[in-house]
Amino acid sequence: MAGVHEKNNVAASAAEDNLAGSSRSGGPLRSENSYRWNPRDEPLVHEPAARQPPVLTYPPPTPDPRLFNPQQMRFLFQKKLQNSDVKANGRIVVPKREAESHFPVLVSKERGLWLHLDDMDYMQVWTVRFRFWPNERSRMYILDHTSEPKL
C-alpha cells in the first residue's frame, strides 16, 4: 500500500454489494468500555438497512475515485503504520477502539466487510476487507487485501 501513510485522509464506504446492514442507530453500543460516544461520530456514509449480504471472498470492483469537499470531512483517527502493516502480509491492524467506534459493526469473524477507502491525497480507491480475529477474550481488527495488486 505504497500510497497510504499516517497523514492520509481516507474516507470509507461500504461496498455496495456487501452492505453492513448495521448502520449505527445512534448512541454507543457498548456501555461497558470507556469510549464516550460523540454525536459527531456518526458514520459519514449512511447505507440503508439491508438484507444480510453474501459473504464475498473476493474483492468487489473498485469504484472510481470521488472528489470530496474537505470542509465536510471530519477527523476520526490516525495510526502510525508499523512494519507489519506495510510488509508483505497484506494486512493493517486497526486499533480496537477506533474499529469499534468508527467502523461498521462486524457480526462474526467469518463475515468481513469489503470497504472502499478513498485515498484523498492520491485520488485512489483502495478496496480492502475489514474483519477481525478472536484474540484472548477480545477481538483484533484488521484490514486485509491491502497489498498492491500484482501486475
Partner DNA sequence: GGGTCATGCATTTGT
Partner DNA sequence: CAAATGCATGACCCT
Which of 67/88 has CB closer to DNA? 88
Cβ atoms of residues 119 and 136 within 8 Å: no
Which of 123/135 has CB closer to DNA? 135
Q: Does 82 bind DNA (CB under 7 A)?
A: yes
Strand ranges in 4-137 using DSSP code E only, listed in sequence order: 10-14, 91-94, 113-119, 124-135
Strand partners, 126: 117
Stretch 36-75: interaction string toward DNA, x if CB under 7 A: ---------------------x------------------
Which of 19, 20, 85, 117 touches DNA by CB under 7 A? 85
* Burial of residue 54 (number of CB atoms within 10 Å: 0-12, 13-18, 19+): exposed
Name the DSSP class of 2. Answer: T
Q: Does 84 bind DNA (CB under 7 A)?
A: yes
| Least Å from the CB of residue 77 to DNA | 10
Q: Which residue has 474499529 as its cell numbers?
A: 99
Which of 16/144 has CB closer to DNA? 144
Element (DSSP H or E) covering residue 25: none
For 10, phi then psi, to 5°, come to -125, 125
| Least Å from the CB of residue 59 to DNA | 9
Residues of the shown chain interacting with DNA in the complex, contacts defined by CB under 7 A: 33-34, 57, 79, 82-85, 88-91, 93, 95-97, 109, 131, 133-138, 140-141, 144-145, 147, 150
